[in-house]
Amino acid sequence: MEWKKFKKERISLNYTVMLVPHSQKKMIHFKTPVWIFGVFFLGLLVLTGACLFFAGSRHQLEQVRREKAQLEQEWEQLARQKEQAEQENDALRKEQENQEKELLELEQRARNTLQELEALVDRESQIRQELGLTELPGEEEDSEPAKGEHTEGESGEAKQEESRRPESSGRTFKIASTDMPMILKKNSADFAVIQSELSYMQNRLDEKLGQYDSYMSTITERKEAAAAEKLRKEALRASIVTSALQYVGNPYVYGGNNPNTGVDCSGFTRYVLGNTAGVYLNRTAAEQSSQGRAVSAQEARPGDLVFYSNGSTVNHVAIYIGDGRVVHASNERVGIVTSDMYYRTPVKIKNVLGD
């Protein structure tokens, strides 16, 4: 009797739901048990919470995707700038080589012109000696009418003597007297033009060499900066290994965060990389496996994280120390130890240092 009374008064308690439609004046009402109303209200809360959770997760995922796309764009832009700088460098080298070739050709032309001028001067001196001339033949011709008067006989003899001279001698005489100064003048002008071209090309070459030196200086500075950054990263990785190895032999404590007093595998990696390299890592091994950039076993470097699985999820993490070995907080029996990287099959290797 008590149970029936309790069931009737408590469990079977009904709610009356009333609906007032606009099209009817009479209200519609029906009763629903309290447990059905409770189940409906609880389902509504669960559905609302699930919607909010998935909406927040989707927003975070979209934000991560946008950041990833932005980083990829910046990386591609840097790669294009590097390729452009290398192309410009190659173009400057080729242009410098062409300039040097042109300069050598101009210098050879100048030497050839000087040799031709010397040959012409030697030829003129030889012709003068053969003709017995000591001054320009044109002056002799101009001075002949001013000499004393000649008789007709003498003029005839001069004409006969002139007629006995070979025509070839007359032609040689004219070349030596009238054409040679013009040839020398023309060659001098050509030599001046060549000298001007040489000066212009030398100035351009000096300008291009200055630009080339500037580019080479910039490239050298970038290479030195990259080399210095590489050395810094290598030193940082070495310090991570050194820091991790000093805790070998310390105890394993599940959920621990300090290798001095006891730590688990993810707490160990989180402590070492956070205090040595300033890298923030999530708390669990599974969460840490989603951070950083994946690398292959051949690409692994000291300071990278090596993850292991129980078959379904990531459940262990270690720090790679080089030579195919890792250091990790193994279990409560052995504590923090070094092991072969393949003492279990790695499922992931991550570079979390960003280099």
Residue pLDDT, tens place only, 17-34: 565 656 556 666 656 666
* 287-319 pLDDT tens trace: 999 999 999 999 999 999 999 999 889 999 999
307/289 Cα distance (integer angstroms): 7
Strand partners, 33: 14
The domain total for the chain is 3
- For residue 246, the tally of other CB atoms under 10 A from its CB is 14
In a domain? residue 151:
no
Last residue of a domain, one of 218, 241, 264: 241
Residue 29, pLDDT score: 61
Asked whether residue 161 is assigned to any structural domain, the reply reads: no
The residue from 203, 226, 241 where one domain ends is 241
CATH of the domain at 258: 3.90.1720.10
Higher pLDDT, 229 or 110: 229
With 0-12 / 13-18 / 19 or more C-beta atoms within 10 angstroms meaning exposed / middle / buried, residue 205 is middle
Q: Does 225 fall in a domain?
A: yes
Q: Which of 199, 222, 241 is the last residue of a domain?
A: 241
More confidently predicted of 237 and 105: 237
Full-model pTM: 0.43
Is the Cβ–Cβ distance between 96 and 208 less than 8 Å? yes
172 and 48 in a common domain: no
Domain with 124 in it:
87-136+166-241
Tell whether 347 and 206 lie within a shared domain: no
- Token reading at 337: 């130890």
**pLDDT band at 242, cuts 50/70/90?**
very high
* pLDDT at position 88 over 80: yes
Pick from 337, 316, 335: nearest CA to 326: 337
Give the strand pairing for 262-263 and 293-294: unpaired
Q: Identify whether residues 221 and 306 lie together within a single domain.
A: no
- Kindly state whether residues 199 and 262 are assigned to the same domain: no
What is the rounded CA–CA span in Å between residue 188 and residue 258? Answer: 91
Quick: pLDDT tens for 188-227: 676 677 778 777 777 777 777 776 677 777 778 888 888 8
- Tell me: the pLDDT tens digits for 134-177? 554 444 444 444 444 444 444 444 444 444 444 444 444 444 44
Q: How far is CA 250 from CA 239, 268, 276, 326, in A?
A: 19, 11, 18, 16
